[in-house]
Chains A and B, each alone.
Chain A
Amino acid sequence: MRIRKDWSSWDPGMSFKTLPGAMGIYEIADEQKNCIYISYAGGASPYGLRGELYAIFGMPAGADKWNWSHPHPESIPAEVKQRAKYYRYEVTHNYYSRWIEDLTRFSEDYETLPELNKLATAPRAPHLGRYHWKSEGI
């Protein structure tokens, strides 16, 4: 299934503590709320979903005083950072299988991967099966 949540807009003024440092998957949408990127915060992610989302949307002013920072923000494709307007995520220990499931579902719905998952700089999408899962009310 796709992530069953409304899109959230990025609020640079929010406390970073509101985002989980846990493992999980996330979707990124552009200004029109089209999902353009699906990825995950896995076991090797240094700050979990929180770190990945800050790497995408950017650290706010004053973040240099925080007691943490993502060591590899460049690992996120620049196009994702430029077009990201909305996000939603799911905390899950099964981040890899859920990533595949979410990509597969998207691919079944739109007959293609999310636009920015097709970039050469994006994490390589695994081989996806066809399950005829088309979502309702996409």
Chain B
Amino acid sequence: MDMQRTEEQQLIIDTVRKFIREEIRPLEADLDPDAYELNPEDDERLRAMVKEMGMYQMGLPVEYGGPGVDIVTRTMLAEEMSQHRAGLYAPAYGAFGSSPPEHLYKGTDEQKEKYLYPVIRGEKHAFFGLSEPSGGSDPARSIRTRGVRDGDSWVINGGKLWNSGADTADFGIVYVRTDPTKGRQGITAFLVDTDTPGFRVQRLVQVLRSHYTTELSFTDMRIPHSQILGEEGGGFALANDTLAHNRIPYASACLGIAVYAQELAIEWAKQRVTFGEPLANRQAIQWMLVDNEIDMRTSRWIALDAAARAQRGESFRFESSMAKLLCTEAAGRVIDRCMQIHGGLGMAKDMPFERWYREVRIRRIGEGTSEIQRVVMARDLLNVRSGS
């Protein structure tokens, strides 16, 4: 694979890098240590600036009015955009805009009018409802939320867990078991408005990071048949396809905080003197810095390889799982070493390490645990599939 960036890629990357360093990082000095939003006036100003630069919603396909930046470039950009304190979960605090959930491109024209275009315009927000208290790693078996057809509608009962953003979303893509006899072919995706009677945000679930997820309950929630996304029984395939795609930039974003942490650690190692010599002269520190570099470069290669395969239309499920596994775990090791190099300062809220340490730990679980990624890869290696 050619790792050389094209001229266009380099230009976009340089622009984003400058933006993060000159516009985003200085603002963080005045924000709460765990903040995940900018002040409204800064948010508005930066979004306007990004739009002016023609870099808003870069992943949006050309046919929907976006620049249609390819997945390889987006993978590179995910690494750039996360290089600040809040970068892992709030890259550039959303100044570059977010693209709609890919599922929505597969909706009907009516569904696109009602959901996709408002999301593109920033008028509506979506959440993703797959995991349940009964489990998330094996949705084919663990989805117990049940939909029963009643005329032109479905009556849905059950609940979801770990739904980020559901409390502020306008609608969600909710996976429901519509035929208990058909295993993974019995799962259907529904577009569910959050003001539907019977839809309740049961509680906000606080986790390691300052942002939270939600627990939802559905009680006799009546959803029209026309709200099915894709085909009845086609929900699992829809989810699987999107999850594999999302794993690549998700993985790459982890490298961004690792890159920034390494920069800070190198700078600190050069200036911090112990026993009469800078830390940078100590072999123990040098080895940590080198191990960081090895972790980052190998993971980056794997993430870009997965992205390149996806872009060429080749099978990339194995590679995207490997990228997710490697990048999340490598970033965890890098952050841990950088904290160690900084000593007490590494634990303080004055520095971003403690936040990254907590947040990057979640990445080994979110979007499929490390163990599930290994299961996915093993299935491909052994050419076996479990489940119905």
Contact = CB atoms under 8 A, between A and B. Distances in A.
Contacts of A123: none
A55 B372 CA distance: 41
Interface string B68-84: 00000000000000000
Question: At the interface, is chain B mostly helix, strand, loop or mixed?
Answer: loop
Contact of A91 (B30, B36, B203): B36
Given A17-B168, A21-B212, A67-B200, A93 B35 contact: no
B210 A67 contact: no
Question: At the interface, is chain A mostly helix, strand, loop or mixed?
Answer: loop
A22 B200 contact: no
B195 A65 contact: yes
29 contacts: A17-B167, A21-B204, A22-B34, A22-B206, A22-B211, A22-B212, A23-B206, A24-B32, A24-B34, A24-B210, A43-B206, A45-B204, A46-B203, A47-B167, A48-B204, A48-B212, A67-B194, A67-B199, A67-B201, A68-B167, A68-B201, A91-B32, A91-B35, A91-B36, A91-B210, A92-B33, A92-B210, A93-B209, A93-B210
Contact of A45 (B195, B206, B210): B206
Contacts of B33: 92
Of the listed residues B36, B37, B203, B355, the one surrounded by the most CB atoms of chain A closer than 10 A to its CB is B203
B34 to A, nearest CB: 5
Interface in A1-42: 4, 17, 20-24, 42
B358 interface: yes
B204 A46 contact: yes
Contacts of A42: 206
B349 interface: yes
A94 interface: yes
Interface in B16-54: 30, 32-37
Given A4-B30, A67-B199, A93-B355, 7 more contacts: A20-B37, A22-B36, A48-B212, A68-B200, A68-B201, A91-B32, A92-B32
B349 A94 contact: yes
Interface residues of A, number: 23
Interface of A: 4, 17, 20-24, 42-48, 51, 65, 67-68, 90-94
A48 B213 CA distance: 11
B42 to A, nearest CB: 14
Contacts of B168: 17, 21
